[in-house]
Structure 1
Amino acid sequence: MKYHPIDKTLFINNRKHFANQMKPSSLAVFNSNDIYPISADSTMPFQQHRDIFYLSGVDQEESILVLFPDCPKEKHREILFLKETNDHIAVWEGEKLTKEAAYETSGIKTVYWLKDMEKIMFEIMTQCDTVYINTNEHYRANVETETREDRFTKWLKAKYPAHSVAKSAPILQRLRSVKSQIEIDLIQNACNITEKGFRRILNFVKPGVWEYEIEAEFMHEFLRNRSKGFAYSPIIASGNNANVLHYVQNNQQCKAGDLLLLDTAAEYANYSSDLTRTIPVSGRFSKRQKDVYNAVNRVKNEATKMLLPGTDWAAYHEEVGKLMTSELLGLGLLDKADVQNENPDWPAYKKYFMHGTSHHMGLDTHDYGILTEPMQANMVFTVEPGIYIPAEGFGIRLEDDVIIQPTGEPLNLMKNIPIEADDIESIMNS
């Protein structure tokens, strides 16, 4: 890992909060992700399952966490099973966690090697009534690959069919959506790295550069600041490419007079940031481009003020839609007849702003959170309105990451990243 060690207090407290929500006489199991193959002997870079990381800090493959708060044997109330390291692994892959290092990382004292897992699991499964399994219930999940967690769950349910089964997901959805100060500091660090990347490219972009060259500039800055790279697939979309919401080819040349939409942000210690800025390739916005840009920025600023404890996610998006409708009328993109005759299920503004304004953010870019429950203090949300005009050859989106405060307006973690049109132009022409 490139990141600095994380205070294990974070993981100790996370486990306590999870255990407090468990049923009596129950245990919960969490698995690391697989290392996924490409072909031949090639693999994708390892990405840890966010849930086992959230609860233990272990950032290593072939790891299992077991929580059993009511276990009669105190040493088995928290258990880590790890891949046993040896000299061969150390030479070919690098050192893995020792039992001592696992304790320093997680605060878990009882660490076994994986070869002992079935024996220990048999002992503790005879002492519990319910087992919590960890299924992916994120509202945007669409998983076709069988995961290590899936395989473990199949094995567990087949071997111990008489146990009751409960779900970890509802507990984690609520816990992970509300951030501790340690988590907020990690997200802020990711945002700070993103700022460095963005400032780097403001003096790099000019007519004739290629989208992939800009991607390389971001990656250079991210890596040199202890990030392992982008928090998600970067969108570097010049001209009409910006009107493709998930454009990731990044293979076109930036032309004079075009706008460049940059949805690019760094991760740090598995925590995400999520930034979007739109800049003029030539260093100056046209009057029309600036008018649309400022309209998007006004919607972003007003939407941000609505992110308060108790806010309903669906009602919030309805209110943002009203703000956007007003701006689109002012820009001449809609007229009163469009609004009067709109389909309530797909309002008129959706022609130019077809995605949501905000989502939870944290360990995942689209992080856990139950959207039917009111917003709470210390939830982190994006705010990202946009206006997309294919007929005029450009699209504009602006996005910051904010923390809901107990009182008052949210705290903007990206307040130091330039966003005002005049500031963008000033930096690009300095």
Structure 2
Amino acid sequence: MKYHQIDRNLFIKNRKKFVAQMVPQSLAVFNSNDIYPVSADSTLPFAQHRDIFYLSGVDQEESILVLFPDAFEEKHREVLFLRETNEHIAIWEGEKLTKERAFEVSGIKTVYWLSDFPAIFRKMMVEAENVYINNNEHYRASVETETREDRFIKKLKQDYPAHQYLRSNPILQRLRSVKEQEEIALIQHACDITEKGFRRILGFVKPGVWEYEIEAEFAHEFLRNRSKGFAYTPIIASGNNANVLHYIENNQQCKDGDLILFDVAAEYANYSSDLSRTIPVNGRFTPRQREVYDAVLRCKKAAETLLVAGNNWYDYHKELGKIYTSELLGLGLLDKADVQNENPDWPAYKKYMMHGTSHHMGLDTHDYGILTDDFVEGMVFTNEPGFYIPEEGFGIRLEDDYVIQSQGLPLNLMKNIPLEADEIEELMNR
């Protein structure tokens, strides 16, 4: 792995929190992701399933974690099963976890090779009454591919039809939504790498550059700082491309007088950051661009005051709708009749600001979190208002990442990344 080893005490704490939520005489199983084929002998880069990583720190394919706190044998209360490594594998594929190294990473003392799984797992299942299985229940999930976890669950239910099956995801949704200090530090590190990338491109952008050239500058800076790269597919959207919310082609030339909307951020140690900025290609905002930019920035600052403990996602967005409406009226994009005649299910402001302002963030860019829960200390949210104006040929989004505090305003993990229009112009023209 490119990243520095994470203190295993984080994963020990995470397992203790999960086990505390399990009903008696239960075990829970978590699988690594597949390595996905492209064609011939090509594969996509491996990306670990975030749940097994959260609970063990194991960042390797063909791994299984079993938690069984009531197991008769103490050694079987938490067990890792790993792909057996040998000299041949080390030569052709590189280092894999040994049993000793797996303990260093995870804090789990009992480590078996994967070939031992059927016999040992059967012994554990004879003792267990309930089994926690790990389906993907994220509210944004829409998965057609059958995963390694899916295949395992299907076979598990065929082999052990008499057991009671329970859901691990509701437990993980709440546990993962509240970050430990070690996790916040890792997200902060990802944000710091993102800052380096953004400052780099401020000196690079000028009329005539191509969106993909800017993407390459970000990639260079992220990789040289021990990131695997982008936390998500980057958006480098110049001109009217910014009005396509998930524009990822990044293949257009940046023209004098246009704005560029960036939604680009680095990962670090599987933890995400999430940044949006909008800058002028030529280093100077036009008066109208600046007017809209400042309105979006006011919305962002207002949203920041609402990211506080005790609020919730639904009330937060309802209040922000009023702020967006006021700013759009001030910009002349809406009039009073638009507001008076609006559809309550799709308010007038949605014509120019059609996405949510915040989402949970962490191991996944759109991280686990139950939207009906109140905000509590340790939750990490984005704050990303935007106005999109196709008729004027530009869109503006501004986004930082925040940690909810026990009292008062949230901690902005991106407070050092240039945001104010004057600062951006000054840095671009230095």
Give TM-score, length-normalised by structure 2: 1.00
Q: 2:40 matched to which residue of 1?
A: 40
Structure 1 unmatched ranges of 5 or more:
none
1:314-367 per-residue CA deviation (whole Å, 9 max, x = no partner) reads 111011111010000000000111000100000000000000000000000000
Report the Cα offset of residue 213 of structure 1. 0.1
Structure 2 unmatched ranges of 5 or more:
none
Q: Distance in 1 between matches of 2:372 and 2:222?
A: 35
Q: 1:57 matched to which residue of 2?
A: 57
Q: Secondary structure at the match of 1:126?
A: helix
Percent sequence identity over matched residues? 76
1:2-51 per-residue CA deviation (whole Å, 9 max, x = no partner) reads 00000000000000000000000000000000000000000000000000
1:63-112 per-residue CA deviation (whole Å, 9 max, x = no partner) reads 00000001110000000000000111111100100000000000000000
Q: Distance in 2 between matches of 1:95 and 1:365?
A: 28
1:270-315 per-residue CA deviation (whole Å, 9 max, x = no partner) reads 0000000000000000000000000000000110110111112111
**Is 1:427 aligned to residue 430 of structure 2?**
no
Q: Secondary structure at the match of 2:265?
A: coil
**Is 1:345 aligned to residue 345 of structure 2?**
yes
**Is 1:8 aligned to residue 8 of structure 2?**
yes
Q: Distance in 1 between matches of 2:253 and 2:122?
A: 60
Q: Aligned runs of 1:31-430 on 2, under 5 Å?
A: 31-430=31-430
1:130-162 per-residue CA deviation (whole Å, 9 max, x = no partner) reads 000000000000000000000111111111111
Q: 1:26 matched to which residue of 2?
A: 26
Q: Distance in 1 between matches of 2:13 and 2:57?
A: 12
Q: Secondary structure at the match of 1:150?
A: helix
Q: Distance in 1 between matches of 2:347 and 2:378?
A: 31
Q: Secondary structure at the match of 2:127?
A: coil
Q: Distance in 2 between matches of 1:122 and 1:196?
A: 50
Report the Cα offset of residue 428 of structure 1. 0.2
Q: Distance in 1 between matches of 2:307 and 2:120?
A: 47
Q: Distance in 2 between matches of 1:201 and 1:385?
A: 22
Q: Distance in 2 between matches of 1:61 and 1:150?
A: 15
Q: Distance in 2 between matches of 1:259 and 1:251?
A: 15
Q: Give runs of ≥4 in structure 1 deviating > 2 Å.
A: none
Give TM-score, length-normalised by structure 1: 1.00
Q: Distance in 1 between matches of 2:388 and 2:306?
A: 23
Report the Cα offset of residue 172 of structure 1. 0.1
Q: Distance in 2 between matches of 1:309 and 1:332?
A: 34
Report the Cα offset of residue 168 of structure 1. 0.2
1:381-409 per-residue CA deviation (whole Å, 9 max, x = no partner) reads 00000000000000000000000000010
Q: Distance in 2 between matches of 1:97 and 1:226?
A: 20
1:205-241 per-residue CA deviation (whole Å, 9 max, x = no partner) reads 0000000000000000000000000000000000000
Q: Secondary structure at the match of 1:42?
A: coil
Task: Output the aligned Cα RMSD.
Answer: 0.4
Report the Cα offset of residue 373 of structure 1. 1.3
Q: Secondary structure at the match of 1:205?
A: coil
Q: What code does the residue aligned with 1:219 have? A: A
Figure out how many residues of one structure are paired with residues of the other and give that number.
Answer: 430
Q: Secondary structure at the match of 2:374?
A: coil
Q: What code does the residue aligned with 2:386 have? A: G
Q: Secondary structure at the match of 2:38?
A: strand
